[in-house]
Amino acid sequence: MIFSASELERYSRQILINNIGGTGQRKLKISKVLVIGAGGLGSPVLIQLASVGIGTIGIIDYDNVELSNLQRQFIHSINTIGINKALSARKYIDHLNPEVNTKIYDYKIEKDNCDKIILDYDIVIDASDNFKTRFIVSDSCNRHKKPYIMGAVRSYDGQVSTFIPYEENKKSVLNPELRDLYSEENIESDEMGCKEEGVLGVTTGLIGTLMATEAIKLIIGMDNILIGKLLLVDLLNMRFEKIKYKRK
């Protein structure tokens, strides 16, 4: 794959990194990443992926941009209020990096359409705001052997984990799935708390950036991915902790 002169200049600083180089940049260019949600988490995810040179980015969101979104969803602006978030995000990416191919899905992801959408992508990043959607997407990724990256936020707190349950680790034991970490019985109480407490923009910005980092490392083939590990972030007290979990 040949890079244009503008691409070489755009990505020159990251091509200099030892474990990226030209080979890593090619991997990024031919990769296809699906991002579910173009809100608080999706905004930093999409911006980082577009900046690093992901070749194709799919964006799923059925909501429209509202004024209250702009406090944390900085891929949107006052000029895109009332516009579908996936379309608004694509407008931003087109201005940021026209080399990136974007595909938008301006409807809600459901059980009956999820499988068809994710089949076209190498990695799925779940930046949605509810566990009902997370379970639907995670189950679909399991069926089709797609890496699944999940993030969640609440006020000053966030968490990130990566799931590749179809691969075997060094101990020849299957990696855990989302359902090994969370149970559907606890969904309702957890999400009500999130809605009541709100969220800070810097929290979504950091967690979304960490989610994008996981995707970049997976594509390039780096180690130390958050498989079987949940990264907990507490910005109020500046604490970072990793918790290991296993397949049930």
- Give, in order, the Cα–Cα distances in Å from 92 to each of 53, 70, 80: 15, 14, 10
Return averaged pLDDT per consecutive 10 residues of the chain, 248 residues in all: 89 95 96 97 98 98 96 96 98 96 96 95 95 94 94 95 74 79 71 67 97 97 94 97 92
* pLDDT at res. 195: 58
Provide the CA 70 distance to its chain's centre, in angstroms.
19
* pLDDT at res. 247: 86
Q: Specify the fold of 31-244.
A: Rossmann fold (3.40.50)
One-letter amino acid of 89 = A
CA distance 199 to 206: 12
CA angle 194, 200, 205 (to 5 degrees): 110
Is-contact 174 168, C-beta < 8 A? yes
CA angle 240, 242, 245 (to 5 degrees): 155
With a CB cutoff of 8 Å and minimum separation 6, the contacts of 17 are: 24
Residue 115, both tokens = 């499988």
User: Tell me, what DSSP letter sits at residue 168?
Assistant: B
* pLDDT at res. 248: 81
Is-contact 35 73, C-beta < 8 A? no
* pLDDT at res. 245: 93
Q: Which among 204, 97, 226 has a CA at the least distance from the CA of 158?
A: 204
* pLDDT at res. 184: 75
The burial class, CB within 10 Å (0-12 / 13-18 / 19+), for 58 is buried
* pLDDT at res. 193: 47
Structural domain boundaries in the chain: 31-244
Largest CA distance in the chain: 53
As a whole number of Å, the end-to-end CA separation of the chain is 43
